[in-house]
Amino acid sequence: MAVPILKQGENLIASIQSALTDTDLVTLRDALVDKVAALRIRGVIVDVTALDVLDSFASRTLRDLAHMIRLRGARTVIVGIQPEVAFAMVQLGLTLEDIPTALDLEEGLKFLGTRR
């Protein structure tokens, strides 16, 4: 299932709507990295509220996505990690390392707005 990507000012918002396959995640990563340059984007928000699992592949793909976008000169913030998903990630020893996170879309936008 394709993830809709909205442009709002200098930011992109990728709002995941349902469970994603590994292929969907990789497609999202590549689409965001492309659009950062094409649309001269400064910040990217990935909203994972709808994801009920963030396993090792998903965690790694989100880390890769954020690192690639940083290398392209923009910032990424992951928002909406659900409490049970956070619980499972910690138990499994999975982390997003240094990737910024925020509670929800609103906090994510604030974060990007203050870190120009």
Partner 1 sequence: MAPDDGFVTRVPINSATDLVNARQRGRALANELGFSPGEAALIASAISELARNIVSYAGRGEIVLWRDGDSGLGISARDNGPGILDIAAAMRAGYSTSSGLGLGLPGVRRIADTFDIASGPQGTTVTLTMRKR
What is the per-residue binding string for partner 1 in 41-60, x denoting contact by CB under 8 A? -----------xxxxxx-xx
Residues 74, 60: Cα–Cα separation, whole Å: 19
The CA distances from residue 20 to 3, 9, 43, in Å, are 9, 27, 23
Interaction between residue 98 and partner 1 (CB under 8 A): no
Q: Determine the residue type at 22.
A: D
Q: How far is the CB of 88 from partner 1 (least distance, A)?
A: 4
Name the residues that contact partner 1, by CB under 8 A: 19-23, 52-57, 59-60, 82-85, 87-89, 91-95, 97
